[in-house]
Amino acid sequence: MMGWGLLVAPLADAQEKAPAKPLPKMIRVQVEFIEMDHETLTALMADEAIANDTQLRARLTELVKKKEATIMETQILQSPDGQKASSESIEEYIYPTEYEPAEIPNEINIEGEGGAQKVNTREFATGPTPTAFETRNLGTTLEIEPNLEKDGRTVHLAFAPEIVHHVRNEVWSEWEGVHGRSDITMPVMFSVRVSTGVYVADGDYRLVAATSPKGQDGWPDFNRKVMLFVKCDVREAGK
């Protein structure tokens, strides 16, 4: 009995001291679109007191509080290390892309009393008829693929954020018959999008791009600018 006791005790101690298996890594990606006037962007980029993008983002927080900048959109998406992920806040806009041309019959005979009678063929005219359709997602989308580097705190992030607006429909061909209109129209879209790959340190911000937002007329407003920031937080699963 004494021998068994000596063997079991060291085994139990070894089990208690065994190191815990590290948990898988999750990476939380935060993308921000912040709008301001063009002059403000120029002044920020020329400010030598701003040492890095995290300080630049902190300066923008002050401008937002002063109503000198506006946060247009924030997208947050979490993914395991090395795995692709996507999120959407959209409305599916379906529109025709191909049409059968309008058609007017050459002749229509209608049987009645006294035999066949000719009628006005325009009453039976058919306008352009849609035959093929496409779908465009209106709203915001985000696609990410984060990969954690060997140092455990640097993330190589491939990502594609996008904001899409439907501006208007343009008439390419007009058609009107006795039963109404059947014009050929195509939508005009406005999008702010970026597709790139960057290195981001854990917990830091990175300025990725500056673009022009949609103006009231649907065209790019070059008097305004949108700064696009990304932040990556490396977290253990379950924490």
List per-block mean pLDDT (blocks of 10 residues) for the chain, which spans 239 residues. 49 59 89 98 96 97 97 97 96 93 68 57 76 95 97 96 96 81 90 97 98 95 98 86
137 closest CA partner among 173, 92, 99 = 92
71 closest CA partner among 83, 63, 81 = 63
In this prediction, residue 129 carries a pLDDT of 86
Distances (CA, A) of 231 to 27, 57, 200, 201, 206: 10, 10, 7, 8, 6
Q: Tell me the pTM.
A: 0.80
Using an 8 Å Cβ cutoff, are 126 and 108 in contact?
no
How far apart (Å, rounded) are the C-alpha atoms in residues 52 and 186?
44
- φ, ψ of residue 14 to 5 degrees: the values are -65, -40
For residue 122, the SS3 value is helix
Going by the DSSP 8-state scheme, the letter that residue 24 receives in this structure is P
Strands 184-193 vs 205-211: parallel, antiparallel or unpaired: unpaired
Using an 8 Å Cβ cutoff, are 144 and 29 in contact?
yes
In this prediction, residue 58 carries a pLDDT of 97
- The predicted-structure confidence for 24-67, as pLDDT tens digits, reads as follows 899 999 999 999 999 999 999 999 999 999 999 999 999 999 99
How far apart (Å, rounded) are the C-alpha atoms in residues 30 and 187?
31
Q: Token pair for residue 43?
A: 């002044």
The β-bridge partners of 28 are 78, 233
